[in-house]
Amino acid sequence: MSISEENLPYKEKIELKSWPNSTDIDSYRKMHGKSLENIEEHWANVAKELDWFKPWDKVLVADPQPPFYKWFVGGKLNASYLAVDRHANTWRRNKLAIIWEGEPTDSSGNPLEVRKLTYYDLYREVNRLAYAIRSKLGLRKGDTVTIYLPMIPELPILMLALARLGVIFSVVFSGFSAQALADRVMDAKSKVIFTADAFWRRGKVVRLKEVVDEALKGIQFVEKVVVFRRMGLKDTPMVNGRDIWWDELLSDVPMNTYVKPEEIESEHPLYILYTSGTTGKPKGIVHDTGGYMTLLHATMKWVFDIKDTDVYWCTADIGWVTGHSYIVFGPLMEGVTEVMYEGAPDYPTPDRWWRIVERYGVTILYTSPTAIRTFMRYGDDWVKGHDFSTIRILHSVGEPINPEAWKWAWKWLGRGSVPFGSTWWMTETGGILISHAPGLALIPLKPGTNGLPLPGIDADVVDDEGKPVQGKRGYLVIKKPWPGMLMTIWGDPNRYIQVYWSRFPGMYYAGDWAIKDEDGYIWVLGRADEVIKVSGHRLGTYEIESALVSHKAVAESAVVGVPDPVRGEVPVAFVVLKSGVNPSQELVKELRNWVRTAIGPIAEPANIVFVSKLPKTRSGKIMRRLLKQVLMKQPLGDTTTLEDETSIDEAKKAYEELA
Ligand code: ATP
Ligand code: MG
């Protein structure tokens, strides 16, 4: 039997009749089609809803030539003004902006540290910090700095203070190693670093400042390191003349300090952010100001249906693009009350997140497949009995969500009744491009799909020749520029052209493998370079993984292809079992048969390797390329983004024992 599209688990459709904006898919398609007739007009109408100091002269300019695009040229605005001043000067002044929870709890699981900041608090803190940064550190518009901070309110405050001055920042995730930090500091040529003494993670003290010192050993050009006292550790090493305490920087800055926001050109870079490094060396993605804020405004409304009554929680870390766009700039621009949490999802118990949802009455939850699969592995007892009645919208991001994981989250967190989508986007796209849009018009849900491209987004799936294909796997492309798109790769414009615009002429190449089904829904199946070819058939590793995850014994799985003299390539599956399940030869047989029945004989894994964890990026994405290198006995390449080195050693050992 050969694999056919019929075998894909894409037939289930769920209509939410109770949702106020549900619509038939034809009306949505019409609206989408109309938006593409004139994308400039479409996006200008969205951009008008932001506050501009000066309106733009031209909506879209290719400068100096495609694929270098500039949005809203001639327009001036300020992201910090949009996120704080706009609210601090209205009735939202006393509305809560951020509810922050630190990780430590008392013996009954209640948080020991909670901070609540209103929009007026935020406004004051942003202004004071901006003043200190300008007057004491001498930073000016166009300078670059690196931020290496944990999930504390000072992180968004700092990003907004820098945006106020037009200082370009690069946030490095606080879980990164000294080497990864050093690489990023050097690439961005930052003269100033912002960090903290330490923070809590899974009950342990993570000493951040010491990592900075290690990273800066070989770097001469860093002039200042500003250190926030998150833990107040007494023995934090400070380098004389270079290091300053954050509180000392602010000590003589009056509470009512006001710094007029710079009038920033729309195309001025807001930040640089390095991609997750799932597939190789991370790229320094550069985002503009005007286009980026426009896309965030649109998606906060369309995808999250954001209202003043919401309590919004995006569980990502601000160190990733999801946090930049959907914890800092998007929600705060909309005047949202949002939750921010410092620590690990399962600390001290696997229901930590659900207690947070209950405590603050979270209404919108934006999370990831890796988190959902982790909670599934702990079993239903940890979700049972928690109150999810406040949740009205769920969304996922980061990786394809296996239908099984979707169903689990929808049943428990979504009570089988709320809109739940898998929002597709990348660091490069700035914001969500393919998604369900319950704030605009909700089309039927399908477990695991990404849904339809948002209005103004010309996304499509094409074959090797660049011709559109439907009902067949192909490559995800975007055929027209969109606001929020990356401007370039920092310091490497040729790599920008080569990576994104060279595969198919005139189209943005996402590097993802996808299928467009008969309704036009897009299903991103994983990375284009992770596809395996068995006896001439191309298989997405994710489809085999999803089949495995749908087996009751399996929590997570990663599939990679290895060369086979007869069949070209064969799949090998790494499998993490659910808590309490033991590996056995019978189970191997059962799982191989399971895949055979679910997808077809060619998908049957040649080997099943049981492990206790999978190699993942620090943002929780499975790093299949490392597993492949283990199987091929090749050098691992760039592993700075790998969360846990022991996962690779374990995979190696388990595989060798099989052979
Ligand atoms: P690198 O580019 O360094 O290899 P990365 O691609 O993992 O790292 P990100 O920009 O964080 O860095 O991730 C974007 C990628 O994540 C997308 O290209 C896609 O493969 C995957 N992705 C994100 N959201 C979804 C989703 N909802 N469904 C399927 N895949 C998704
Ligand atoms: Mg990528």
Peptide bond connecting 583 to the previous residue in cis, omega within 30 degrees of 0: no
Which of 399, 422, 486 is the pocket-test mutation for ligand 1 (most atoms within 8 Å of CB)? Answer: 399
Which of 401, 422, 524 is the pocket-test mutation for ligand 1 (most atoms within 8 Å of CB)? Answer: 524
Q: Determine the Cα–Cα distance for residues 654 and 552; give it in Å rounded to an integer.
A: 22
Residues 508 and 500 sit within 8 Å (Cβ to Cβ) = yes
Q: What predicted TM-score, i.e. pTM, was given to this entire model?
A: 0.94
Decide if pLDDT at 8 tops 60. no
Tokens read off for 306: 């954001």
Tens of pLDDT, residue by residue over 626-637, are 999 999 998 888
Q: Determine the Cα–Cα distance for residues 630 and 627; give it in Å rounded to an integer.
A: 5
Q: Determine the Cα–Cα distance for residues 81 and 182; give it in Å rounded to an integer.
A: 32
Q: Is 426 in the pocket of ligand 1 (CB under 6 A)?
A: yes
Looking up tokens 């991370």, which residue turns up?
A: 282
Q: Is 279 in the pocket of ligand 1 (CB under 6 A)?
A: yes
Angle at alpha carbon of residue 274, lines to 621 and 218, rounded to 5°: 115
Predicted pLDDT at 157: 98
Q: Is 442 in the pocket of ligand 1 (CB under 6 A)?
A: no
Q: Is 275 in the pocket of ligand 1 (CB under 6 A)?
A: yes
The three-class DSSP label of residue 391 is coil
Tokens read off for 217: 């050993």
Decide if pLDDT at 4 tops 50. no
Tens of pLDDT, residue by residue over 155-212, are 999 999 999 999 999 999 998 889 889 999 999 999 999 999 999 999 999 999 999 9
Residue 638 CA to ligand 2 centre (angstroms): 14
Tokens read off for 400: 């394809």
Q: What is the average pLDDT across 525-553?
A: 89
Q: Is 323 in the pocket of ligand 1 (CB under 6 A)?
A: no
Q: What is the average pLDDT across 296-306?
A: 98
Q: Is 315 in the pocket of ligand 1 (CB under 6 A)?
A: no
Q: Which atom of ligand 1 is nearest to the CA of 526?
A: 20
Q: Is 397 in the pocket of ligand 1 (CB under 6 A)?
A: yes
Strand 168-171 to strand 199-201: parallel, antiparallel, or no bridges (unpaired)? Answer: unpaired
The three-class DSSP label of residue 548 is helix
Those residues with Cβ within 8 angstroms of residue 606's Cβ, 6 or more apart along the chain or in another chain: 562, 564, 570, 571, 572
- 300 pLDDT band (50/70/90 cuts)? very high
Residue 275 CA to ligand 1 centre (angstroms): 9
CA–CA distances in Å: residue 409 to residues 305, 311, 389, 548, 656:
20, 19, 14, 18, 36
Q: What is the DSSP string of 184-221?
A: HHHHHT-SEEEEES-EEETTEEE-HHHHHHHHGGG---
Q: Determine the Cα–Cα distance for residues 292 and 50; give it in Å rounded to an integer.
A: 11
The three-class DSSP label of residue 648 is helix
Residue 278 CA to ligand 2 centre (angstroms): 7
Residue 433 CA to ligand 2 centre (angstroms): 15
Starting from the CA of residue 512, give the closest ligand.
Answer: 1
Q: Determine the Cα–Cα distance for residues 533 and 242; give it in Å rounded to an integer.
A: 55
Q: Is 400 in the pocket of ligand 1 (CB under 6 A)?
A: yes
Predicted pLDDT at 6: 47
Q: Which atom of ligand 1 is nearest to the CA of 281?
A: 3
Q: Is 450 in the pocket of ligand 1 (CB under 6 A)?
A: yes
Average pLDDT of the chain is 94
Residue 298 CA to ligand 1 centre (angstroms): 21
Q: Is 639 exposed, middle or buried (0-12, 13-18, 19+ CB in 10 A)?
A: middle
Question: b/e per residue, 541-553, with b = 16+ CB within 10 A?
Answer: bbbbbbbbbbbeb
**Reduced DSSP (H G I as helix, E B as strand, rest coil) percent helix, strand, coil of the chain, to 5:** 35, 25, 45
Q: Which atom of ligand 1 is nearest to the CA of 285?
A: 10
Tens of pLDDT, residue by residue over 119-151, are 999 999 999 999 999 999 999 999 999 999 999
Percent of the chain with pLDDT over 70: 98
Q: What is the average pLDDT across 250-257?
A: 96
Q: What is the average pLDDT across 16-32?
A: 90
Residue 399 CA to ligand 1 centre (angstroms): 6
Residue 279 CA to ligand 2 centre (angstroms): 7
CA–CA distances in Å: residue 109 to residues 86, 374, 454, 509:
37, 20, 41, 46
Closest-CA residue, ligand 1 atom 28, reads: 400
